[in-house]
């Protein structure tokens, strides 16, 4: 399946070998490619131990875990690389992302709206609804913001 994005990335930790294998098999099974026909690029996740700056989590009820810090850092570092490469659009997936293929195909049969961040999944986190704007309710496509929206999204 060809996606209308300049690049496609999937984030996977070095220690996540089983998830790496499953994601690679899944991507191969749906023949996912970017607009130029290139396969998705694996981006090595940050563990959270590799974050060079101090993280202030004093306003939170619970301390940030190394995994949460690593997840944020992984996306942030990838965004910087995308910007540096001047990639116009990119699809970013975590290594456990799975598509509802009929809905995805329906979404991609229409022109994409103008976007900076376009979410492909996740409407709530721990039963707390997320702020978002519905782009197409028939296929559940939303624009949104926030770091809980990182399972699969596109950026421009």
pLDDT tens across the length of the chain (156 residues): 899 999 999 999 888 899 899 999 999 999 999 999 999 999 999 877 766 555 666 776 677 777 777 888 888 899 999 999 999 999 999 888 887 778 788 878 888 888 888 877 654 444 555 556 666 666 565 555 444 556 788 899
Closest C-alpha among 17, 156, 11 to residue 87: 156
DSSP type of residue 9: E
Phi-psi region of 56 (alpha: psi -120 to 50; beta: other; left: phi over 0): beta
pTM to 2 decimal places: 0.78
Please list the helix, strand and coil fractions of the chain in percent, rounded to the nearest 5, in that order: 25, 25, 50
97-to-25, 53, 132 alpha-carbon distances in Å:
12, 29, 20
């Amino acid at each position: 399946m060809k996606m209308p994005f300049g690049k496609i990335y999937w984030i996977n930790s070095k220690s996540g070998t089983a998830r790496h294998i499953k994601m690679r098999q899944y991507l191969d099974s749906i023949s996912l490619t970017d607009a130029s026909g290139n396969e998705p690029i694996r981006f090595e996740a940050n563990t959270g131990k590799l974050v060079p700056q101090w993280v202030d989590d004093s306003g939170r009820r619970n301390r940030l875990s190394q995994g949460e810090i690593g997840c944020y850092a992984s996306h942030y570092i990838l965004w910087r690389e995308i910007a540096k490469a001047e990639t116009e659009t990119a699809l970013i997936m975590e290594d456990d992302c799975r598509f509802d293929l009929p809905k995805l195909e329906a979404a991609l049969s229409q022109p994409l709206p103008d976007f900076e961040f376009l979410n492909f999944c996740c409407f709530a986190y721990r039963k707390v609804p997320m702020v978002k704007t519905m782009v197409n309710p028939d296929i559940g496509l939303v624009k949104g913001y926030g770091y809980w929206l990182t399972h699969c999204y596109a950026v421009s």
